[in-house]
Amino acid sequence: MTTESAVLEEPVVKKQELPEFELVNLTINGQSFKLKLQPWVSLLDAIREYAGLTGTKKGCDHGQCGACTVLINGKRINSCLTLAVMRDGEAITTIEGLSDGVVNHPLQDAFIEHDAFQCGYCTPGQICSAVGMINEGRANSLEDVQELMSGNICRCGAYNNINAAIMEVKSKMA
């Protein structure tokens, strides 16, 4: 049995038109990046491969794991599900933007203290997501945090420690 036999008949090779490169202006962590890229580049790949900020991770490229979570104007978003050209001029914050190199975001310190990770791969997404969740102002209890952090998978299973870190930071903010 032969499958996909249609292609056997006569491969018609057409000159493919590829998308044009465009100049996109991304503001990441307060810094302006003028990037020449094609419109099919996701925000995630633009951040990682074009702006060179590799703290943001790719775990599925399908919006199923949350590893690529960044903040746009303070709101959390899966950066693999948006195109870079759609974010021209918006304020993007990645994990690298949460610490100034001297003072960390309180969540970053709490994550270390509570051992809220093992391999660390989902961690940038978890922290950005937690920042976004706190901004949303809907998480009033541990149960809320569990529910609202369920878009970020941690395969190492550090959830209880992640929640402990978030609850500690929230209690200090209150």
Binding residues among 25-44 for another protein as defined by CB under 8 A: 38, 40-41
Report the C-alpha gap between 9 and 31 in whole angstroms.
53
Binding part of the chain for another protein, among 71-79, 85-93, 157-165 by CB under 8 A, reads 157-165
For residue 7, the one-letter residue type is V
Selected from 24, 43, 53, 85, the binder of another protein by CB under 8 A is 53
Binding part of the chain for another protein, among 71-79, 85-93, 152-160 by CB under 8 A, reads 152-160
Long-range CB contacts (within 8 A, 24+) of 55-60: 55/94, 55/95, 55/96, 55/124, 56/94, 56/95, 56/124, 56/125, 57/121, 57/122, 57/124, 57/125, 59/121, 59/122, 59/125, 59/153
Decide whether 13 or 173 has the Cβ nearer to another protein: 13
Provide the β-strand partners of residue 33.
26
**Binding of another protein at residue 60 (CB under 8 A)?**
yes
Selected from 25, 31, 73, 99, the binder of another protein by CB under 8 A is 99
For residue 103, the one-letter residue type is V
Selected from 43, 56, 78, 82, the binder of another protein by CB under 8 A is 56
Size of the site for another protein (CB under 8 A): 72
Q: In Å, how far are 2, 4, 15, 16 from 12, measured between CA atoms?
A: 19, 15, 10, 11
**Binding of another protein at residue 155 (CB under 8 A)?**
yes
Phi, psi (rounded to 5 degrees) for 4: 50, 40
Of residues 106 through 135, those in contact with another protein by CB under 8 A are 108-109, 111-113, 115, 117-124, 127
**Binding of another protein at residue 64 (CB under 8 A)?**
yes
Of residues 70 through 89, those in contact with another protein by CB under 8 A are none
Q: Nearest 5°: CA angle at 45, between 42 and 48?
A: 150
**Binding of another protein at residue 98 (CB under 8 A)?**
yes
Selected from 43, 67, 85, 131, the binder of another protein by CB under 8 A is 67
